[in-house]
Amino acid sequence: MVDLSGKVALVTGASKGIGRALALGLAEAGAAVAANYHTDKDGAEAAVAQMRAAGGRGVAVAADVSTVAGCRELVASTVREFGRLDIAYCHAGITSWGPFLEYSEDAFDAVVGTNLKGTYFTAQAAARQMAQQGNGGRIIVTSSVTGHQAVQYLSAYAMTKGGVEMMVRNLVLELSPHNITINAIAPGAITNERNLNDDPDYETKWARVIPLRRAGQPQDVLGAALFLASDAASWITGQTLVVDGGWTAYSPTPGFEFVEREGRIGT
């Protein structure tokens, strides 16, 4: 239902989970996609191979978005490959569990560097390119329901997600004159490799506390992303679309025994 033919999209953190689903979905909708990765080259290249097998265009691009140089080179690489940039999805992020009273400086710097700094400077590099092109664009960032409701042991992570949502609201003032929209998507409990590695019972536990009685899947986030990237959302900017099966309506959580059992601090 969404046609992105002729568009060029960049997705950070595209080697697995939600990021991979976003990259594949944008390619299926017709966009040429730069699938960014930091360490998981095989995952990103497998996603690109899947795009090409389906007749799409894609390329895997390595970059560490926790550095400004990495963010800028990522956008430059995308433009060298495809000639322009129309859609930037700043998805790359790390989840960092740990009790506040024991949380370490290294863990704090890592989660802020990727989730907050990386999102900010990827958006900046993308917006500069879009403004230079002169015909607008779409920037979408990944937030989280933890930017809206408290979740135990995720204080630093939640802080970064609240921060990117405020960034989105502020940047409306500066990007709208360039016809660039910027919005956030705040996923709830999504079944992916990272969450299942943390807790093998993740899906079952969260299904008990979500009104729609299931944990989300990466494809649930993709639907929201395709809408915000499309012409149908051309007058929507500065907003956060929560995709959580109704969880933030009342926000109970399962237990986080895996944090307590393993004594995890900032991991």
Measured between alpha carbons, how far is 91 from 192 in angstroms, rounded to an integer?
14
User: How buried is 249 (Cβ within 10 angstroms: 0-12 exposed, 13-18 middle, 19+ buried)?
Assistant: exposed
Q: Which two tokens stand for residue 200?
A: 């093998």
Q: Is 144 a catalytic residue?
A: yes
Other residues' Cβ atoms within 10 Å of the Cβ of residue 5: 8
Q: Residue 230's Cα: distance from chain center in Å?
A: 17
Q: Which of 37, 89, 120, 157 is catalytic?
A: 157
Q: Which of 7, 16, 117, 161 is catalytic?
A: 161
CB-based burial, 94-108: b 16+ in 10 Å, e otherwise: bebbbeeeebeeebb
State yes or no: is 117 an active-site residue.
no
Where would I find the beta strands (DSSP E) of the chain? 8-11, 32-37, 58-62, 87-90, 137-142, 180-187, 240-243
**7 given a catalytic annotation:** no
Catalytic annotation, pick one of 15, 66, 143, 144: 144
Neighbours of 132 (CB within 10 A): 11
Active-site residues, by number, are 144, 157, 161
